[in-house]
Copies of this chain bind each other. A is one copy, B any other.
Amino acid sequence: MDEIIVAKVQQAVGLLQEFNLPVWIAQFARETHDHPEPVQHLVVGTSVTWPAAFVIAADGTTTAIVGTGDVANVRDVGVYSEVVGYVQDVGPPLRALIEKLNPSSIGVSFSRSDDSADCISYGMYLLLEECLRGTRWVTALDPAEKVLGALRARKLPVEVERIRQAIRLTEEMFVAIEELLRAGITERKLYVAIHDMMREAGVTPAWDERYDPVVNFGPESKFGHAGPEERELEPGMLVHIDFGLKFDGYCSDLQRMWYVLRPDEGEPPQAVRDAFQAVLTSMRAGVAALRPGVAGWEVDHAARRVLISADYEEPAFALGHQLGQICHDGGALLGPRWPRYGMRPLIAVEQGNVFTVEYALQTPAGIIGLEEDVLVTSNGAEYLSNLQADLRCLRL
């Protein structure tokens, strides 16, 4: 991980220059093993126990101020050129550093819109204000969400390569999963089998293991983030799996599906075929609209209107999210301009962003849901996954 952290800290220095932010307190937190900050795996590289500040300046200097017990641990990471230990109070050394850097403003990692850029706790924010009390910097604290959003969203080649590997491994597992779709399989058995595959491959779920993978058999299965049930696979059911894994620190996130033919059926029912095509057409419209410079909501809208104009129920969620160290990564979001998503649908897509593209519909046979992962290129988007363009059919 340290190679990535060195590269991302270097990238952050460039972003501070680009966004005219002289100093960024990237992390100001404590006990970050028990509650890791979203920024920890990006530019810090280890956990700390006592209140600690990780400060990156636009001139390239990097300083960590940590409790003495954490000094060895932070030096081991080897990213911060200066590691200052303190015993009683983080305030004086932090204040001394800010006085030395003497910035016009200070970026702090918080954001109303972007959870992945919203790192500092409210208590630590109050503590930071207290550390700077009486100085002009107490009123010069700005959200660093633009820097942190861009830092997450503009993937380095080494990051894209790790995401590609995670996707490749997931697709291999989907081949093995199809083999398990036989008479007698239940949602829970399949879920357990997929967890076994991950354990064997030495990888972990990309999101909460309680509902990664989501496994849905047929129309009674729970939509959304829900764990598996004892439901057995039967003819006439759609199989829908939403599955992501984390490999070498980076995530995949894919949805794949199948239809189980009834003995008398030669193909899925018309309504199911129509819904599959509608979701596929809608997603393709989104991918066609995806290129640098467009706002996230425009991409969502291009896809969303296909479903709405075909009289399907409007999806209650976004078309896609960025993908990276965390499954719902920061920066632009391909979603509607709903308060739930804050300002993120207004952010412009950039080259080097990696997005999921996903929509789903409920049908009488179950959930039609597809999800692909794509990389934004200089003038469009490239699929990182092998698009599921056909509704595969099975017989039990």
Which residues of chain A from 131 to 180 have any CB-CB distance to chain B below 8 Å in the complex? Answer: 143
User: Given A35-B35, A110-B122, A122-B125, does the pair A340, B72 have CB atoms closer than 8 Å?
Assistant: no
How many whole Å from A211's CB to the nearest CB in chain B? Answer: 6
Stretch with Cβ within 8 A of B (4 or more), from A112-120, A288-296, A347-355, A387-395: A112-120
User: Given A69-B316, A73-B227, A127-B112, does the pair A88, B33 have CB atoms closer than 8 Å?
Assistant: no
User: Given A110-B121, A338-B88, A339-B88, does the pair A38, B34 have CB atoms closer than 8 Å?
Assistant: yes
CB atoms of B340 and A34 under 8 A apart? no
Instruction: Tell whether A197 is near chain B: CB-to-CB under 8 Å.
Output: no
Instruction: Tell whether A366 is near chain B: CB-to-CB under 8 Å.
Output: no
Once the chains are docked, how many angstroms separate the CA of A258 from the CA of B200?
37
Once the chains are docked, how many angstroms separate the CA of A17 from the CA of B114?
35
Instruction: Tell whether A327 is near chain B: CB-to-CB under 8 Å.
Output: yes
How many whole Å from A357's CB to the nearest CB in chain B? Answer: 17
Once the chains are docked, how many angstroms separate the CA of A50 from the CA of B342?
11
How many whole Å from A369's CB to the nearest CB in chain B? Answer: 12
CB atoms of B72 and A226 under 8 A apart? yes
CB atoms of A89 and B340 under 8 A apart? yes
How many whole Å from A69's CB to the nearest CB in chain B? Answer: 4
Once the chains are docked, how many angstroms separate the CA of A51 from the CA of B118?
12
Instruction: Tell whether A3 is near chain B: CB-to-CB under 8 Å.
Output: no
Which partner residue on chain B sits nearest A48 by CB separation?
Answer: B225
CB atoms of B326 and A31 under 8 A apart? yes
Of A34, A87, A328, most buried by chain B (CB within 10 Å of CB) is A34
Which residues of chain A from 66 to 81 have any CB-CB distance to chain B below 8 Å in the complex? Answer: 67-73, 76
**Which residues of chain B come closer than 8 Å to A69, judged between CB atoms?**
223-225, 316-317
CB atoms of A123 and B127 under 8 A apart? no
Pairs of residues from A and B, 3 with the lowest C-beta to C-beta distance, nearest first: A72-B226, A118-B123, A89-B339
